[in-house]
Structure 1
């Protein structure tokens, strides 16, 4: 199959990568010139449905954002995505060991990357409130189809439904889709953003939804992301909308873990819901407890 890749003749080594939750097959590639790449094999409908989005991602030239080098057809059912390889360590494993001021500074850096991604012009029209209401309805239907619930489930639902009006007229931008410390590489000086697997069009505030995975390792880092993104001028609607997305994630995460995850994923989602509940003090406030000054 690999011999159908247009760059096959230049490949020196191919090594499978057994990491992550994605069903896509991933490979480390090194070519004869010593250049390194990440090859991801995906279903053909994924590429065909996202071609305009992939072209936008391919045009990003920031050296700290993983570059989409090429994509195309491999077989009747499989396409490929080729990204540049980033050297370093997963940020999740080291961020907590860095000085607090450096954690915050690296967050500022990442927030600025996110500003660049969301600054890409798109021509997508969407009645976002209608779209989001349908998304919420589907998540509630799924959550109610299983006989287990996270603690405070009714509180999450009430907060979500009482504040869903905030989603009216939200802008649509390109989202990385999984912006957290598990998808970032630290090279000793800078952070590199990797893994566009969940990229999509959506509300840019939705990009901050995985904040709990960052805060678990460094509240200073997550605070820096927000401050860097907004250049220190946070809009009044940001934290209220973030709290809605946080409640939504708690409703949907357990269903995902129940059907697609492992036993430890179920435990993690229970704990995550409890943590998010505490961050917003039972949703009696919308600014999370971890956000502060550094």
Structure 2
């Protein structure tokens, strides 16, 4: 830690083991009592980490409730890069939500939807290749991997047919910047009750694309929260096309996760297979695009 330029201002540094990121993460207490999040990555990640930091600065200036970007740079030993962020003191939404009433879950969901909509006001870079091409250049490989070595389940042909026959829906979709991993584990409810977005370090489709693609990690296990997130995003006026694309992105993400889990997270394989079965139930075997868990709270 002595290789970080501002290390002399640190009083205490505690490692954080939670999360799947390859970054080293630390809870830092400064000499003045302030708390920070410190992330370290290998030097070869410099360009990507610098781009992440610059994106966080842009979003912070859009008044997104998120950790403040404090500093970024190269460690003195030049073997790694660091990112220093303010610390958000609170509870992960996935822990906080079960303690709330259904009405409170819905309202918190609406807040998360409004935040996500604000994130999506930041347009993708100019001259970005169209979304349909970008999406399928990645997803076609994943779908082929499933057909070649995935674990088959009852109804997998229904999901694959829905994906194949509705490819046209991705034509001429708008593109914006993404959070990249917008789910309950990356939302913090502060002690004052405000919702904050953390962990801006997932690179999926270079962190920009169809804004509605970001709903593929929506927390369906808490239907009132998930419903509120959709209603908050669209200010209670959900377009029909959204439901069709939600069914598309959720089903494609679920079925292509099987091969990934098989090799990289075998302990999660049973839950991912269950997710695929749930997708079939939610969308009535892909005959209905409004999921069964969607509930409006008046």
Same fold (TM over 0.5): yes
For residues 156-175 of structure 1, what are the structure 2 equivalents within 5 Å?
156-175=159-178
TM-score (norm 2): 0.90
Is 2:64–2:115's contact at 8 Å kept on the other side of the alignment?
A: no
Task: Count residues in correspondence.
Answer: 289
- What is the CA distance between 1:20 and its match in structure 2? 1.6
For residues 23-34 of structure 1, what are the structure 2 equivalents within 5 Å?
23-34=22-33
* 1:153-179 Cα distance to aligned partner (Å, 9 max, x none): 222211111111111111221111111
Which SS does the other structure have where 2:166 is aligned?
helix
Which stretches in structure 2 are left out of the alignment for 5+ residues? Answer: none
For residues 220-239 of structure 1, what are the structure 2 equivalents within 5 Å?
220-239=224-243
Distance 1:67 1:255 in 2: 37
Distance 2:247 2:233 in 1: 18
- What is the CA distance between 1:7 and its match in structure 2? 1.7
Cα 1:173/1:51, change in 2 over 3 Å: farther
* 1:207-227 Cα distance to aligned partner (Å, 9 max, x none): 11012xx121x2111111111
Aligned residue number for residue 3 of structure 2: 4
* 1:123-155 Cα distance to aligned partner (Å, 9 max, x none): 241221111121221111222342523442222
Distance 1:52 1:18 in 2: 24
Of 183-192 and 265-274, the range deviating more from structure 2: 183-192
Of 274-283 and 146-155, the range deviating more from structure 2: 146-155
Q: Does 1:198 align with 2:202?
A: yes
Which stretches in structure 1 are left out of the alignment for 5+ residues? Answer: none
Aligned residue number for residue 104 of structure 2: 102
Distance 2:154 2:37 in 1: 40
Aligned residue number for residue 117 of structure 2: 115
Is 1:150–1:254's contact at 8 Å kept on the other side of the alignment?
A: no
Cα 1:207/1:63, change in 2 over 3 Å: closer
For residues 145-294 of structure 1, what are the structure 2 equivalents within 5 Å?
145-146=148-149, 148-188=151-191, 189-199=193-203, 200-211=207-218, 214-216=219-221, 218-263=222-267, 265-294=268-297
Is 1:86–1:192's contact at 8 Å kept on the other side of the alignment?
A: yes
Is 2:52–2:201's contact at 8 Å kept on the other side of the alignment?
A: no
